[in-house]
Amino acid sequence: MESISNNQALKDRTVLVSSSGASSELAIELERSGARVITAPEARVHEPESHVALDEAIENLFGYDWIIFANIHAVDYFLRRFRQLNHDINELDDLRVCAIDEAGRARLEEVHVHVDLIPDGHAASKVIEALEAYLGGRKAFRTANFLIPRSATSDDPLPQVLEDAGARVDVVAAYRIASTNDSLLAQLRALLVGGGIDFVAFSNPSDVEILAQLLDTTDLSRSLLDIVAACIDQPTQQAAHEFGLSTDILPADPPIALFVKAIRSFQNRER
């Protein structure tokens, strides 16, 4: 492996990497280049701190036209509470159901919940496009009511995009995102809000999914706004695009050392 221990091109720059094992080598090489590396902790999913908003939404399902499940956690925790409140799955037949990810769709079909719409991608823009095509135009959003069970800390832009289109949207806490290191998660969220991260480096497609799960979003474009995204190869780049991210750095070859070299080169151009 090419040695980059004497190169300090990334000095005073903060790079976010995933908690996956493949990212360990990446973190080491980035630190050798002078970067401060933040390793995202693994996500843990728990019951919400309160069921009040979710219970109210379940008891008033007649007020909604659509329910959007962004992931399998939304499906599992919503349906668990739905049954605890003595509701029958058949009651969901009066709603249109949108499942954004494949795992969520599969779980819904396992328990015989009909799925009306599966967008061609995770990003908010893809969901809006699919809904618009299904409804027959953007004007239909003005009379549509959406229920989106998520975590209380979700930073997904979809609810705002739907509201901007004229829809009424209720986002209710169905589960809670924690992590193996809650203090690190809190630090990460603060850095993202405060602009304290310069780069995010993905060393494989699962890195993208892991970060999206941690931030509870299907669209990373808002969470990582103004952060330079680096992907090690084209499959990873494709995964980033599916979650709404444009790739700023893509090396010609995938070895970690060359990946870090591409990030250093980008930083040198910016100076």
174 with 54, same domain? yes
224: CB partners within 8 A, 6+ apart: 192, 197, 200, 245
- Verify that 55 and 155 share a domain, yes or no: yes
Angle at 13 between CA 7 and CA 18, to 5 degrees: 100
Per-residue model confidence (pLDDT) at position 181: 87
CA angle 157, 160, 165 (to 5 degrees): 125
Same structural domain, 29 and 79 = no
pLDDT of residue 9: 75
Together in a domain, 161 and 58: yes
Q: Which residues of 106-118 are buried (b: 16+ CB within 10 A; e: fewer)?
A: ebbeeeebeeebe
The reply to whether 142 and 52 lie within a common domain is yes
**pLDDT for the residue 27:** 87
Instruction: Read off the CATH number of the domain in which 153 is found.
Output: 3.40.50.10090
CB 32 within 8 Å of CB 63 = no
The contacts of residue 20 (CB under 8 Å, 6+ apart) are 203, 204, 206, 207, 210
Indicate if the pLDDT at residue 270 is higher than 70: no
DSSP string, 16-81: EE-SSTHHHHHHHHHHHTT-EEEEPPPEEEE--S--HHHHHHHHTGGG-SEEEE-SHHHHHHHHHH
Of 19 and 109, the structure prediction assigns the larger pLDDT to: 109
Q: What is the pTM of this model?
A: 0.85
Tens of pLDDT, residue by residue over 45-103, are: 999 999 999 999 999 999 999 999 999 999 999 999 999 999 999 999 999 999 999 99
Domain count, the chain: 2
- Is residue 1's pLDDT more than 60? no
136 and 243 assigned to the same domain:
no
Task: Indicate whether 57 and 111 sit together in one domain.
Answer: yes
Between the CA of residue 268 and those of 27, 32, 119, 149, what are the distances in Å?
19, 16, 39, 43
Closest listed residue to residue 124, CA positions, set 61, 249, 212: 212
Bridge pairing between strands 168-179 and 43-46: antiparallel
Domain containing residue 262: 14-42+180-270
pLDDT at 4 over 70: no
pLDDT band at 7 (very low <50, low <70, confident <90, very high): low
Which of 123, 145, 178 is the last residue before a domain boundary? 178
Nearest to 92 by CA among 149, 51, 137: 149
9 in a domain, yes or no? no
216 — alpha (psi -120 to 50), left (phi > 0) or beta?
left
Report pLDDT for 263: 85
**Residue 4 within any structural domain of the chain:** no
pLDDT at 252: 79
Structure-block tokens of residue 110 = 């396992």
Q: How far is 234 from 249, CA to CA, in rounded Å?
A: 11
Domain for residue 168, yes or no?
A: yes
Do 257 and 166 belong together in one domain?
Answer: no
Residues 162 and 50 in one domain: yes
Query: Is residue 7 a part of any domain in this protein?
Result: no
How many Cα atoms sit within 13 Å of 230 on the Cβ side? 30
Which long-range CB contacts under 8 A does 117-125 form with residues at least 24 apart? 121/242, 122/212, 122/218, 122/219, 122/242, 122/243, 122/244, 123/218, 123/219, 123/221, 123/242, 123/243, 123/244, 124/156, 124/157, 124/158, 124/161, 124/218, 124/219, 124/221, 124/244, 125/161, 125/219, 125/244
Question: Using CB atoms within 10 A of its CB, is residue 158 exposed (0-12), middle (13-18) or buried (19+)?
Answer: buried
